[in-house]
């Protein structure tokens, strides 16, 4: 390359760099850029992008709301599970208190003792009610394997087939969840 050729190339490079940083447009290019067709196309493109972004934002917002609901539901289930496992341990005490009250002593000294046991029993029942624990209805109802556990199937002229004859151990629920099924005898 000759010296003259190198000088022209370097001058051309400087002009190209200078032109790109200042963005000079000719009047014809400006007129063409402002034509209604081009502006309309750019506007339509911007509207389409805006619609896509808005729909994406709405989907993300709905996903987040669903996530929040799922977390809240999971927390409620965990709390019920923890409460249920603790309460389940105390149901044995309720059973013992019920058995003790069924066999109350009749002498005056034993009757006072039984009244104290009954007060304790009622306090425990109140605590269970406050925790949304309910007895499963079983006596004289139809056998339901979801809430009852059959200990035996017996002939009973007083009951129709599939009906609970006797409850051997009370069942309990917390909310919609079975803590302990009722142990029952069922008519054949």
Tokens 């005056």, located at residue: 108
Is the separation of the CB atoms in 76 and 176 below 8 Å? no
- Whether pLDDT at 19 is above 50: no
Pairing outcome for strands 172-174 and 133-135: antiparallel
Banded model confidence at residue 60, pLDDT cuts 50, 70, 90? very high
Flag whether the pTM goes above 0.95.
no
Is the separation of the CB atoms in 178 and 147 below 8 Å? yes
Q: What is the per-residue pLDDT across 83-93, written as a single tens digit (0 to 9) for each?
A: 888 999 999 99
Please give the pLDDT value at position 73.
93
Q: What is the per-residue pLDDT across 135-167, written as a single tens digit (0 to 9) for each?
A: 998 888 899 999 999 999 888 888 888 889 989
Domain ranges in the chain?
51-131, 134-188
100 vs 68: which has the higher pLDDT = 68
Q: What is the per-residue pLDDT across 30-58, written as a single tens digit (0 to 9) for each?
A: 666 678 888 899 999 999 999 999 999 99
Mean pLDDT of 112-140: 90
| Residue whose C-alpha is closest to residue 101's, from 118, 123, 125 | 118
CATH match of 134-188 with 1.10.150.120: no
Report how far residue 14's alpha carbon sits from residue 18's, in angstroms, rounded to the nearest whole number.
6
Mean pLDDT of 13-23: 45
């Amino acid at each position: 390359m000759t010296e003259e050729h190198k000088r022209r190339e370097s001058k051309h490079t400087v002009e190209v760099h200078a032109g790109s940083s200042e963005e000079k447009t000719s009047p014809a290019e400006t007129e063409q850029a402002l034509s209604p067709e081009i502006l309309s196309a750019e506007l339509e493109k911007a509207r389409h992008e805006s619609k896509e972004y808005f729909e994406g934002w709405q989907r993300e917002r709905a996903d987040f709301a669903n996530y929040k609901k799922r977390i809240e539901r999971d927390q409620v289930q965990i709390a019920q599970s923890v409460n249920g496992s603790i309460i389940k341990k105390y149901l044995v005490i309720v059973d013992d208190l019920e058995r003790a009250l069924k066999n109350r002593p009749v002498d005056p000294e034993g009757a006072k003792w039984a009244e104290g046991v009954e007060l304790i029993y009622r306090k425990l029942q109140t605590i269970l009610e406050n925790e949304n624990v309910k007895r499963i209805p079983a006596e004289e109802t139809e056998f339901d394997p979801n809430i009852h556990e059959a200990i035996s199937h017996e002939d009973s002229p007083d009951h129709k087939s599939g009906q609970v004859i006797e409850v051997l151990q009370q069942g309990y629920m917390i909310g919609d969840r079975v803590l302990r099924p009722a142990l029952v005898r069922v008519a054949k």
